Amino acid sequence: MSQELKTELCDLLGCRYPIVQTAMGWVADAGLVAATSNAGGFGFLAGATIAPDKLEAEILKVMALTDRPFGLNFHMWQPNAAQVIDLVIKYSQRIRAVSFGRGPDKATIRRFKQAKVLCMPTVGALKHAQKAIELGADIVTIQGGEGGGHTGSVPTSILLPQVLDAVKVPVVAAGGFHDGRGLAAALGYGAVGIAMGTRFLMTSDSPVPVNTKKHYVAVNDTARIRVSYAVDGMPQRHIDNDYLLRLEADSGLGRVLTALQCAWKWKAQTGMSTGHMLRTAARALREDGMSVAQTLMAANAPMVIQRSIVDGKPEEGVLPSGQVAAVIGELNSCADVIREIVSQAHERLAAIAALSRTQDLQHDKQY
């Protein structure tokens, strides 16, 4: 018999359990999103890495594979950001939430709110959470430094209570979660649920090629899942491999040349115009305080991740990963993963409740 585990997040997103699958580029496709949502979680489709001419079809595929609500992730710097926003509004009866890093402006958020679509940005610092809420975020996902891909330096155990004490919107915890003990702990802190990326990447429902998944399963030392600035000039957590070491050993000029090659490929793949690419780079320099080198290197990440995650050539690309990969030793289905997390969370929450009751009884006997 299945167990219920309902929080405010479940009411907001329309899911059975407070477990969110994050929008990993090229990983969170229609199949993974539907598998997550059918299992009782809430899946985000990775709209940032889906070609503009295929995005609507991928949304319709999710809708055909599950009758549950789901989310869509995007970035305002995408050349097709306007298309994404229009599609979210068009399918707002099924797309319950949008997630993003670089957030939309107040006017766009107002459009989402009018369509009853929740804004659920992911942030890695308190100031970014506060800024997102100021713009109109309904829920914030905070990712601690244990998380994969772009990440900050503050661990979840410090960042989560810091944000919970400072904001009044529901908070979802991410970075370092993979089992029911983590879910119980997050709820104990005061979060309304957890979000996981690596845990869902490492499932049988994930579209990542088997050859690449083997690298994730094989790693068993968290020291091998480390932060590097070599990919795009920003801190990103990856599984250590020879390709990452070569990037780090390359000269500054070599990295810039590689970045320019990647930028041209990424431009062709996304349909981004030269003007749009230059405007995006200028905005990064002006608003984010990125250096010229970092801005040039930003195109590296999509292409070198694609080689391993899509093409199945892990030796020729990088492997973004949270530290939890080191403690995951098998590739179960999303349904099995979620079922086990919920069962374990119930056990831990029941044990804590029993401990509290025992202490109350002992106190009563003393008086």
- Position 300 scores a pLDDT of 59
0.85 surpassed by pTM: yes
| Contact (Cβ atoms closer than 8 angstroms) between residue 140 and residue 171 | yes
pLDDT score recorded for residue 125? 95
Do residues 218 and 328 lie in contact, with contact meaning Cβ atoms separated by under 8 Å?
no
**Which of 36-50, 248-262, 310-324 is predicted with the least confidence, judged by mean pLDDT?**
248-262
Report whether pLDDT(287) > 70.
no
Q: In this predicted model, what pLDDT tens digit does every residue of 69-98 receive, in sequence order? A: 999 999 988 889 999 999 999 999 999 999
Which residues, 6 or more positions from 110, have their beta carbon under 8 angstroms from its beta carbon? 136
Instruction: Give the residue extent of every domain in the chain.
Output: 11-207+335-354, 212-323
Q: CA 55, CA 46: separation in Å to the nearest integer?
A: 10
DSSP string, 186-233: HHHHT-SEEEESHHHHTSTT--S-HHHHHHHHH---GGGEEEESTTTS
Q: Comparing C-alpha atoms, which of 147, 231, 173 is closest to residue 9?
A: 173
Q: Could you give the angle at the alpha carbon of 120 between the alpha carbons of 143 and 309, nearest 5°?
A: 60
Average pLDDT over residues 22-27: 96
Span 11-207+335-354: which CATH code? 3.20.20.70
17 three-state secondary structure: coil
Confidence of residue 128 (pLDDT cuts 50, 70, 90): very high
pLDDT tens digits for range 299-355 = 556 778 999 999 999 999 999 999 999 999 999 999 999 999 999 999 999 999 998
Q: What is the pLDDT of residues 159-212, one digit of tens each?
A: 999 999 999 999 999 999 999 999 999 999 999 999 999 999 999 999 999 999
Amino acid identity for residue 220 in this structure: N
pLDDT band at 276; cut points 50, 70, 90:
very low
- What is the predicted pLDDT for the residue at 79? 87
pLDDT, residue 270, reads 53
